[in-house]
Amino acid sequence: MDIVQFPINTLHFFYEISVVEVGQHFYWQIGGFQIHAQVLITSWIVIAVLLSSATLAVRDPQIVPKGIQNFLEYVLEFIRDLAKTQIGEEYGPWVSFIGTMFLFIFVSNWAGALFPWGIFQLPHGELAAPTNDINTTVALALLTSLAYFYAGLTKRGLGYFGKYIQPTPILLPINILEDFTKPLSLSFRLFGNILADELVVAVLVSLVPIVVPIPVMLLGLFTSGIQALIFATLAAAYIGESMEDNH
């Protein structure tokens, strides 16, 4: 049986790509502020990909869509169905918010799973998916919280706060606590799953750089898409819940 041998330099290259430094960050110092550069760089790349795709889709729209226009129209229809299912008939104004959340998280997750960010060396830390960083997921969760508070207050006015004493005023502390646990669960679920997936792939690539990590990477792509769907679905569900009338 022939044993395939790889040069040490090749194995070292795969190992360098697979290295994940947890807790190490690269900052830009702008005036008196420290800017988390890793997240900004990768977030800008994700945003550029989304804007470029949207621009290509609407540059020359066809009555019978094809190519990227057909794909993006299918994605839009999927997001509309998701928003309508969770929010109800008043879903229209929230399609753009839910869609932005879903697409940003989806592309961010896949960027972390597909792109070898490790080839770009930074003084500290490394480039990775924006959702690999707790700062990003917390920001997305807080935006979701603001969205469902806004939705509830817009639809029901000050009567929105009546939900905190339903079905009995005894549950007031628990109902208030729920508003804190929602963003916590959203942010840590997304962050934990994406970080764990990238760490598992990193370990496998460092140990067995050829073939073996591929099934795990494919599974990571699937779970990354599921995590984006879960986040968007829960965000829409929270918005729909805040707009319901309590009787």
pLDDT per residue as tens digits for the range 168-210: 788 788 888 888 889 899 999 888 888 877 777 667 766 666 6
- Those residues with Cβ within 8 angstroms of residue 73's Cβ, 6 or more apart along the chain or in another chain: 57, 65
Per-residue confidence (pLDDT) for residue 117, from 0 to 100: 63
Under the banding of pLDDT at 50, 70 and 90, the label for residue 20 is very low
Three-state DSSP state, 30: strand
Query: What average pLDDT does the segment 49-65 reach?
Result: 82
**Least confidently predicted of 4-13, 161-170, 235-244:** 4-13
Per-residue confidence (pLDDT) for residue 11, from 0 to 100: 42
DSSP 8-state assignment for residue 167: S
Per-residue confidence (pLDDT) for residue 224, from 0 to 100: 85
Q: Residue 207, Cα to own-chain centre: how many angstroms? A: 28
| Closest C-alpha among 128, 81, 85, 125 to residue 224 | 128
DSSP 8-state assignment for residue 29: E
Cα dihedral 237, 91, 226, 112 sign: negative
Please return the burial class of 216, using the count of CB atoms within 10 Å of its CB with bins 0-12, 13-18 and 19+: middle
**Least confidently predicted of 23-32, 69-78, 152-161, 227-236:** 23-32
DSSP 8-state assignment for residue 17: H
Joined tokens for residue 239 = 């918005």
For residue 197, the one-letter residue type is D
In tens, the pLDDT along 118-167 reads 666 666 667 778 888 888 899 999 999 999 999 888 888 887 787 878 77
